[in-house]
Amino acid sequence: MTIPGAKQTSVGALVIALLIILPLIVNSGFALTVMSQTGIAIIFALAFNMLLGQGGMLSFGHAVYFGLAGYVTAHVMNGMANEDLPYMPVSLIPLVGGVAGLFFGILIGFVSTRRAGTAFAMISLGFAELATGLTLIIIFFFNGEEGVQTDRWVREEWFGITYGPDIQVYYLIAVWCVIAAIAMYLLTRTPFGRMSNAVRDNPERVQFIGYNTHRVRWLAFSLSSFFAGLAGALHAVNVEHVGFETVGLGQSAVILIMVYIGGTGHFAGPILGAILITLLNAYLSDISPAWYLYLGLIFVGMVMFAPGGLAGLIMMHDPIRRAAPHLLMRMAPAYAAAFGTSLVALVGCIGLVEMAYFLSTTVSRNTALILYGIALDAADFWPWLVCVALAAAGALGCSRTYPRLAESYGTAMHEARRAVAS
Amino acid sequence: MTNAIEFSGVQKSFGNTEVIRGVDLAVEQGEIHAVIGPNGAGKSTLFNLVTGRYHVSRGRIELNGENITNRAPHDIFRKGLSRSFQVTNIFPRMSVFENVRCGVLWNLGYHYSFWHFVNRRRDLRERTESILEQTGLASRRNVPAGLLSYSDQRALEIAVTIAGGASVVLLDEPTSGMSSSETEQAVALIRDISATRTMVIVEHDMGVVFDLADRISVLVYGKVIATGTPEEIRSNAKVQEAYLGTEAA
Ligand SMILES: Nc1ncnc2c1ncn2[C@@H]1O[C@H](COP(=O)(O)OP(=O)(O)OP(=O)(O)O)[C@@H](O)[C@H]1O
Ligand SMILES: [Mg+2]
């Protein structure tokens, strides 16, 4: 017998330990910034999934609550610095963002959650455009395209914390990330959380067991906006600036993509997506100008071939792991083969994309390019030949290895079922 | 005593087609009232009107003496009326246990709470367990509802319907598509449920109807042509002609 919740507790303890020591291991300034961004993205992604995954509401404008809360937070911090507003520790300022998000969520959600499905998605899009418009119109609050500048160093707090050094901000974000994640996880186990799933799966029936579907969706929307606002406040603290792009469609699209790639059907999915996409964005966008193309391709690929996202792919193996873990090892060769052929195809395709991108965007006549650490001339014939050959060989390989992988998975599942049955 | 449900001059049109053409019908407290009639007579529509799923075009519907005409479905449920569906209508991704628990939540006062944990509440678990026992689904509790056999899904449909403790329960063709042994079980279950509730059932299986019902109403082409005890209905000439006769042929 295991104690209920013991597994979650030990996973949680492990995560917390990791969050504490991570900045001590990788202590470059850039890495720290990326980790802080990741923490914010995780909160926002989990909040978004309260809508999409738990509640079945696809929003194209959830950054509105993230961004508006960011603006409010920036103004509150500035107000505290000028002593126009009573002081509160910056450690607790995410709550201000949360309340701001909640406020706008309650207000706008009342209207948008009257409808589900496509109508809801369209209304969310409308409000996203509206918010972007307002940032350029209401200058005294949003300050137009310049955005609002702020300073997180308001006063020295407990233990001499000032939020001057980035490492302190990292820990602030880490603490709030853990609190928010736990809170959102616990919410899934409340009557509200269960009915949110019920409304997602069968809104029709929900009405005949006593629930007002609009109320359920509205509550989900409001609570989700609270956490989105919390993330927005941390963003304001982290970068000390809030611009109009934070409420915009771009920001909303990024969070949607993150959550979808991570997987909407499992609580940890958005966390995976947030980590992966933030890391890729931080490290790839510097290396490759074609980063958004890759992001788009990953997204489309996920939607087409793995609609359950990364979490879905991982959880596919859970029945096998539970029934007979050794069966997973037996799948390893098939996985290695599929991985190998994919890698070859990927190297070829990325090479082609990079060279094409380079040729089409370079201003000078300079066609010299460094690809995979090799200096070559994009105008030459042979690099193209090699890349096409790699891509073709990889694709051909994949056409063999993927069916074999599927077959190996099928066999393992079959045996796992037999093991459970016996 | 006031009637459990009372229809007065209820009329329903879809566009130009009048589907319910002035129904007066009283369901008495504690009885099992069967509604029979040919396909397309409007039986399901009648359920949809009383439960608030469809708008009533004209007329009035009362539940325990209170006017519930055109109230929202969740409002009517909260006043103590619950229904099952002719086509199984459950939460396919949730387990059997979770399905029933969803049905229990409102009635035990949890409403929209986000400060209780469903798996820590004893009253929730106990009520859910007892419904599962009663409907014979206890052994299937962890199966995702979408993977249940047809007859188990029908049983779950009833389980979800009665989970909320409604005093008036409407069942729309609870035994349709079942084998005779499954039907027998379903009849036993319905009889068991009816001990503490007023029931209205729509049913095509005349064996079931005459076995279970205290009173029967015959709905033909949007009108109630007769209401009475099973004996009265069996010997009613109009019913013979309009419905039972064709069934026997
Ligand atoms: N939403 C709707 N829109 C238009 N017509 C409808 C609608 N619902 C039902 N009808 C029509 O109303 C009539 C009665 O339908 P209803 O489903 O109530 O019949 P029923 O007595 O339950 O039949 P069955 O025994 O086949 O279930 C049918 O002619 C049907 O086509
Ligand atoms: Mg019907």
In a domain, A17, yes or no: yes
Q: How high is the pLDDT of residue A364? A: 64
Residue list, CB under 5 A from ion ligand 2: B 44, 86
In a domain, A305, yes or no: no
- Is the Cβ of B170 closer than 8 Å to some Cβ of chain A? no
- The answer on A354 and A275 residing in a single domain is no
Q: How high is the pLDDT of residue A372? A: 80
Question: Distance, in angstroms, between B12 CA and closest chain A CA?
Answer: 21
Q: Which residues of A touch B (CB under 8 A)?
A: 4, 186-187, 189-195, 197-198, 201-202, 204-212, 215-216, 219, 223
pLDDT band at A12 (very low <50, low <70, confident <90, very high): confident
In whole numbers, what is the pLDDT of chain A averaged over residues? 91
- The answer on A245 and A184 residing in a single domain is yes
**Whole-number Å distance between alpha carbons of A60 and A126:** 9
In a domain, A312, yes or no: no
Strand partners, B95: B144
* Record: contact B115-A193, CB cut-off 8 A: no
Q: Which residues of B touch A194 (CB under 8 A)?
A: 98, 101-102, 105, 118
Q: How high is the pLDDT of residue A255? A: 96
Best mutation site among B12, B20, B35, B45 for ligand 1 pocket (most ligand atoms within 8 Å of CB)? B45
* Record: contact B93-A201, CB cut-off 8 A: yes
Q: Which residues of B touch A198 (CB under 8 A)?
A: 91, 94, 102
Residue range B36-51: average pLDDT?
96
pLDDT per position as a tens digit, A251-296: 999 999 999 999 999 999 999 999 999 999 998 888 888 888 899 9
Identify which of A358, A385, A381 has the alpha carbon closest to the alpha carbon of residue A371: A358
In a domain, A57, yes or no: yes
Nearest to B74 among A190, A198, A210 (CB): A210
For residue B14, the ligand 1 atom closest to its alpha carbon is 4
Q: How high is the pLDDT of residue B246? A: 54
Strands B66-67 and B58-63: antiparallel
* Record: contact B106-A209, CB cut-off 8 A: yes
For residue B15, the ligand 1 atom closest to its alpha carbon is 4
Residue A186: closest CA among chain B residues belongs to which residue? B117
- The answer on A367 and A233 residing in a single domain is no
Identify which of A52, A74, A76, A66 has the alpha carbon closest to the alpha carbon of residue A128: A66
Cα A229 to averaged position of ligand 1 atoms, centre (Å): 48
**Whole-number Å distance between alpha carbons of A144 and A331:** 56
- The answer on A238 and A92 residing in a single domain is yes
Number of domains in chain A: 2
- The answer on A231 and A107 residing in a single domain is yes
- The answer on A135 and A107 residing in a single domain is yes
- The answer on A216 and A354 residing in a single domain is no
pLDDT per position as a tens digit, B138-159: 999 999 999 999 999 999 999 9
- The answer on A171 and A223 residing in a single domain is yes
pLDDT per position as a tens digit, A198-249: 999 999 999 999 999 999 999 999 999 999 999 999 999 999 999 999 999 9
- The answer on A244 and A120 residing in a single domain is yes
* Record: contact B118-A191, CB cut-off 8 A: yes
- Is the Cβ of B191 closer than 8 Å to some Cβ of chain A? no
ipTM of the complex: 0.94
Domain span at A378: 318-421
Q: Which residues of A touch B98 (CB under 8 A)?
A: 194
Residue where one domain finishes, among candidates A249, A269, A299: A299
Q: How high is the pLDDT of residue A386? A: 92
* Record: contact A204-B102, CB cut-off 8 A: no
- Entry pTM: 0.93
- The answer on A371 and A268 residing in a single domain is no
Residue B83: closest CA among chain A residues belongs to which residue? A208
pLDDT band at A3 (very low <50, low <70, confident <90, very high): low
Q: How high is the pLDDT of residue A363? A: 66
pLDDT per position as a tens digit, A70-83: 999 999 999 988 88
Query: Which residue has the CA at smallest separation from atom 3 of ligand 1?
Result: B14
pLDDT band at A365 (very low <50, low <70, confident <90, very high): low
Angle at A264 between CA A259 and CA A269, to 5 degrees: 70
Domain with A197 in it: what CATH number?
Answer: 1.10.3470
In a domain, A306, yes or no: no
pLDDT per position as a tens digit, B56-82: 999 999 999 999 999 999 999 999 999
- Give burial (CB, 10 Å; 0-12/13-18/19+) of B230: middle
* Record: contact A215-B112, CB cut-off 8 A: yes
pLDDT band at B249 (very low <50, low <70, confident <90, very high): very low
* Record: contact A208-B110, CB cut-off 8 A: no
Q: Answer whether residue A91 shows pLDDT above 60.
A: yes
Q: What are phi and psi of A138, to 5 degrees?
A: -85, 85
Residues with CB under 6 A from ligand 1: B 14, 19, 37, 39-45, 86
In a domain, A23, yes or no: yes
Residue range A129-158: average pLDDT?
85
CA distances from A103 to A69, A78, A334, B46 (A): 9, 20, 52, 42
- Is the Cβ of B92 closer than 8 Å to some Cβ of chain A? yes
pLDDT band at A167 (very low <50, low <70, confident <90, very high): confident
Residue range B34-53: average pLDDT?
96
- The answer on A91 and A29 residing in a single domain is yes
In a domain, A313, yes or no: no
- The answer on A346 and A285 residing in a single domain is no
pLDDT per position as a tens digit, B200-224: 999 999 999 999 999 999 999 999 9
Q: Are A94 and A176 in contact (CB under 8 A)?
A: yes
How far the first Cα of chain B sits from its last, in Å, is 41
In a domain, A311, yes or no: no
pLDDT per position as a tens digit, B179-192: 999 999 999 999 99
Q: How high is the pLDDT of residue B212? A: 95
B25 token code pair:
């019908």
